Amino acid sequence: MKETLSFSDEIVNLVYNKTDGYCRYCNKKINFRNYGNPDTVGAWEIDHWTPVSRGGSDDIENLVLACIDCNRSKQEMTGLEFLRWLRGLEYI
């Protein structure tokens, strides 16, 4: 079931192109057509590098492509904290 997502087509394209279609965190190849559709292979979402809850914004500089698994696992961590967590390092 596809989620209702709040980003324009222009933002979706820009975020996808920023990483050439790879998850910012795990580098998994993403399928552009599967944006917001968690039940498909290569599904992805737009993630806030710095979560809105921690002062992040919807500015394009703060938006990254994330596979469903990474985005859902990241929760309230910043992008840097999550990358460190993925590598088994503690984050501050």
Residue ranges of domains in the chain: 9-86
pLDDT at 90: 62
- CATH class of the domain comprising 9-86: mainly alpha
Low-confidence residues in the chain, pLDDT < 70: 1-5, 90-92
pLDDT at 6: 82
pLDDT at 48: 97
pLDDT at 13: 96
pLDDT at 91: 54
pLDDT at 1: 35
pLDDT at 10: 96
Write the DSSP assignment of 17-78 as a string of letters: HHTTTB-TTT--B--GGGBT-TTSTT-EEEEESS-GGGT--S-GGGEEEEEHHHHHHHTT--
Structure token digits, residue 75: 């929760």
